[in-house]
Amino acid sequence: MREKVNQVGYKEEQYHVRESYDSSMSEKRLDLNDLLKRAKDQEKNDKRLNLLIYAGALSVIVVFVLILSI
């Protein structure tokens, strides 16, 4: 039984299982503040895009009305 315990420890040392697992977990960790900032930035970009779309549609309508009135 003691041989199996030693063998597991040896495999961890040989293949660096713990080191790669710990480093990958710390790199993939999400920061809530970063996610909130991204959401706010995305919302700002969406508002700007919507404003551009509304302004474009309004300008097309104005041009169309001007052409019909002549």
| pLDDT band (50, 70, 90) for residue 28 | confident
How do the domains of the chain map onto residue ranges?
1-30, 31-70
What the block records as the tokens of 62 is 């104005």
Helix, strand or coil, per DSSP, at residue 28: coil
- Tell the residue number behind the tokens 């063998």, with chain if given: 7
pTM across the whole model: 0.52
Which residues contact residue 12 at a Cβ distance below 8 angstroms, ignoring those fewer than 6 apart?
Answer: 18
Cα-Cα-Cα-Cα dihedral sign, residues 46, 48, 54, 60: negative
User: pLDDT tens digit string along 43-63?
Assistant: 999 999 999 999 999 999 999
Q: Are 18 and 12 in contact (CB under 8 A)?
A: yes
